């Protein structure tokens, strides 16, 4: 392939060819449209008309069975259930305190590496949220010796990728590479972490991007519901009550010096773990990490902590008005338990039938039976601190009241218990699916991350399978009664107040609280 080949293809198939341009502008702002545009003739949907779907009458014709060499009316016998092959993992601690966990997987010539630095958003200041997220955006953009463009080029020439993410409880730097280029990729990662560039232009671009994303989120019902839900759960005196991106005001006030201060106070080998999975040996990994061990000096990092906010004494509905919204976003839940809690696996088991799978009760009723939504689910989230139980869905606007009532009523009914058939169904689904959970390098790194973050044993998967296998109907009901408490949850709804607010008074949680977006 030559440059001339590319030019020839461009000239032959693209340059000067007939094309279509679409121009999307805010309603009533036709002065912003592309020059010489003509109306597309798209009719604005009326949600009430769209929700009245007529089902055409059908006639049942006799179905002719296809010929077969075997009896399709007889269910095949069950075979031995596949078992999880827990991979052998190795551990090491570098001289400066970095913990390293690894799994050698020779299936493909690929490697996944994740560096986890404890803290993340937890280390932000309440009066200046968003700094950790900005660090994650700016730090991988260049190094002391390479411009952002040069670093990007070097990474791509290796066939590698490096990205960084700020979570609530940690900063994660993910790198993927070919096995033969693992050493060089690790060297680039070392340069990013230990020799930051703090590029001023990249900081300004990240600041603009983040501010714009916050403005966009404020117009998206899903994001509005999520932000209000977090604020209700954790309160305004807890950093987890704020968006990881920060606020419009905080992003304006954040400076490059704030990012450097965050880096200086919170980046240390003593709070860092490196997780590796792929076609690379323990010896190769430790050799590639030698520069981290020799050049990164340890220092003390104090992690912030916050008191656990009290759970709501009774349920209440909080409503955010998005005038004319065609959908309503529903978030329901409360702070339930941490991932390290002995009850976590049991609670996750209990939730599976309620909202943890496509075949769950909530999804089957709201999506399959009623047609109100594309999906409804619930989950117990994973965090070191007490984490939320969340049931959520986006439903057709005119089905808001009925959907909230269904979520509340189905949680109440679920507290009555399940039968032996449902219990065995949950066990089969959760245990049989485990055999597929750890097939890729990414999923293996995820397993190592769970082990290291929550201090779980190497064979925690097998131990959790034993907990699942030993669950009884009585224990299922006890855990359900303890953690599925629909009368002590926050109910957050974002939608059209003019049509949906008043009916929600009939749910039984009093008059909904109208919250300004």
Q: Which of 172, 487, 496, 478 is nearest to 346 (CA)?
A: 478
Give pTM, 2 decimals.
0.85
Distances in Å between the Cα of 155 and the Cα atoms of 109, 141, 261, 295 are 17, 12, 27, 22
The reply to whether 89-295 and 316-515 are identical in fold is: yes
In the predicted structure, residue 175 carries a pLDDT above the cut 90: yes
In the predicted structure, residue 60 carries a pLDDT above the cut 70: no
Contact 111, 179 (CB under 8 A): yes
Q: What is the pLDDT of residues 295-324, one digit of tens each?
A: 999 999 999 999 999 999 999 999 999 998
Give pLDDT, residue 95: 96
Q: What is the DSSP string of 394-415?
A: EEEGGGHHHHHHHHHHHHHHHT
Q: What is the pLDDT of residues 450-480, one digit of tens each?
A: 999 999 999 999 999 999 999 999 999 999 9
29: which 2 tokens? 């702002």
388: which 2 tokens? 């939320």
In the predicted structure, residue 196 carries a pLDDT above the cut 90: yes
Q: What is the pLDDT of residues 66-113, one digit of tens each?
A: 888 888 888 888 777 777 778 899 999 999 999 999 999 999 999 999
Distance CA 380, CA 391 (A): 9
Residue 269: half-sphere exposure toward Cβ, Cα within 13 Å: 20
Give pLDDT, residue 104: 96
Contact 416, 373 (CB under 8 A): no
Strands (E), 67-183: 89-93, 99-104, 110-118, 161-166, 170-178
Contact 486, 219 (CB under 8 A): no
In the predicted structure, residue 55 carries a pLDDT above the cut 60: no
Place of tokens 């090491």: 92
Give pLDDT, residue 129: 97
Q: Where are the domains of the chain?
A: 3-39, 89-295, 316-515
Partnered with residue 112 across adjacent β-strands are: 176, 277
In the predicted structure, residue 46 carries a pLDDT above the cut 80: no
For 245, residues 6+ apart whose C-beta sits below 8 A from its C-beta are 130, 133, 210, 213, 214, 217, 251
Give pLDDT, residue 43: 79
The continuous run of DSSP H or E covering 236 comes out as none
Average pLDDT over residues 414-441: 90
Distances in Å between the Cα of 375 and the Cα atoms of 63, 361, 395, 463 are 32, 11, 9, 31
In the predicted structure, residue 271 carries a pLDDT above the cut 60: yes
In the predicted structure, residue 9 carries a pLDDT above the cut 70: yes
Residue 143 per-residue DSSP state: B
In the predicted structure, residue 259 carries a pLDDT above the cut 80: yes
Distance CA 236, CA 255 (A): 23
In the predicted structure, residue 403 carries a pLDDT above the cut 80: yes
Backbone angles phi, psi at 161, to 5 degrees: -140, 145
Rounded percentage of the chain residues whose pLDDT exceeds 90: 84
The continuous run of DSSP H or E covering 462 comes out as helix 460-469
| 460 Rama sector, left if φ>0, alpha if ψ -120 to 50, beta otherwise | alpha
430: which 2 tokens? 């959760």
In the predicted structure, residue 44 carries a pLDDT above the cut 80: no
Reported confidence tier of residue 49, pLDDT bands at 50, 70, 90: low
Contact 388, 381 (CB under 8 A): yes
Give pLDDT, residue 56: 60
Give pLDDT, residue 77: 84
Give pLDDT, residue 435: 77
Reported confidence tier of residue 57, pLDDT bands at 50, 70, 90: low
Place of tokens 């490196």: 274
Residue 117: half-sphere exposure toward Cβ, Cα within 13 Å: 25
Give pLDDT, residue 3: 96
* CATH fold of the domain at 316-515: Cytochrome Bc1 Complex; Chain A, domain 1 (3.30.830)
In the predicted structure, residue 146 carries a pLDDT above the cut 70: yes
User: Across the chain, what does the average pLDDT equal?
Assistant: 93
Backbone angles phi, psi at 77, to 5 degrees: -65, 150
Contact 490, 332 (CB under 8 A): yes
Average pLDDT over residues 376-392: 97
Residue range 89-295, CATH number: 3.30.830.10
Q: What is the pLDDT of residues 106-142, one digit of tens each?
A: 999 999 999 999 999 999 999 999 999 999 999 999 9
Residue 216 CB coordination number (10 Å): 10
Give pLDDT, residue 40: 87
Distance CA 318, CA 230 (A): 12
Give pLDDT, residue 292: 96
């Amino acid at each position: 392939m030559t440059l001339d080949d590319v030019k020839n293809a461009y000239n032959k198939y693209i340059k000067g060819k007939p094309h279509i341009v679409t121009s999307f502008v805010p309603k009533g702002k036709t002065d912003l449209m592309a020059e010489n545009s003509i109306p597309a003739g798209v009719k604005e949907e009326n949600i009430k008309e769209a929700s009245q779907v007529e089902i055409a009458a059908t006639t049942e014709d006799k179905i002719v069975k296809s010929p077969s060499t075997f009896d399709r009316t007889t269910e095949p016998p069950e075979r031995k259930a596949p078992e999880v092959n827990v991979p052998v993992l190795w551990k090491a601690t570098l001289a400066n305190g970095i913990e390293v966990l690894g799994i050698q997987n020779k299936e493909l010539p690929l490697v996944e590496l994740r560096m986890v630095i404890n803290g993340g958003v937890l280390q932000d200041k309440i009066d200046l949220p968003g700094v950790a997220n900005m660090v994650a955006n700016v730090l991988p953009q260049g190094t002391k010796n390479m411009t952002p463009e040069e670093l990007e080029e070097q990474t791509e020439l290796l066939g590698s990728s490096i990205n960084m993410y700020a979570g609530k409880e940690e900063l994660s730097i993910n790198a993927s590479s070919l096995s033969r280029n693992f050493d060089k990729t690790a060297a680039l990662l070392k340069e990013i972490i230990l020799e930051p560039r703090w590029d001023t232009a990249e900081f300004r671009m990240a600041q603009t991007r983040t501010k714009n994303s916050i403005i966009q989120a404020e117009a998206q019902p899903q994001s509005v519901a999520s932000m209000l839900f977090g604020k209700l759960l954790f309160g305004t005196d807890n950093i987890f009550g704020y968006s990881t991106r920060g606020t419009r005001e905080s992003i304006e006030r954040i400076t490059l010096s704030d990012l450097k201060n965050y880096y200086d106070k919170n980046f240390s080998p003593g709070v860092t773990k490196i997780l590796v999975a792929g076609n690379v040996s323990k010896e190769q990994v430790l050799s590639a990490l030698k520069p981290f061990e020799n050049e990164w000096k340890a220092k003390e990092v104090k992690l912030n902590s916050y008191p656990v906010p009290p759970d709501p004494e009774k349920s209440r509905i909080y409503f955010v008005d998005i005038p004319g919204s065609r959908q309503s976003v529903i978030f329901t839940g409360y702070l339930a338990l941490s991932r390290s809690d002995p009850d976590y696996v049991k609670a996750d088991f209990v939730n599976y039938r309620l909202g943890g799978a496509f075949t769950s009760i909530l999804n089957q009723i709201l999506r399959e039976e009623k047609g109100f939504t594309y999906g409804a689910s619930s989950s117990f989230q994973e965090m070191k601190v007490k984490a939320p139980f969340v049931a959520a869905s986006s439903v057709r606007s005119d089905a808001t009241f009925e959907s909230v009532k269904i979520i509340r009523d189905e949680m109440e009914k679920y507290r009555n218990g399940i039968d032996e058939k449902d219990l065995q169904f949950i066990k089969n689904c959760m245990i049989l699916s485990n055999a597929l959970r750890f097939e890729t390098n990414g999923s293996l790194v995820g397993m190592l991350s769970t082990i290291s973050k929550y201090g779980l044993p190497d064979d925690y998967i097998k131990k959790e399978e034993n907990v699942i296998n030993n669950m009884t109907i009585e224990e299922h009901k006890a855990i359900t009664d303890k953690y599925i408490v629909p009368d002590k949850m926050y109910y957050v709804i974002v939608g059209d107040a003019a049509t949906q607010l008043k009916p929600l008074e009939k749910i039984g949680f009093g008059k909904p609280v109208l919250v300004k977006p």
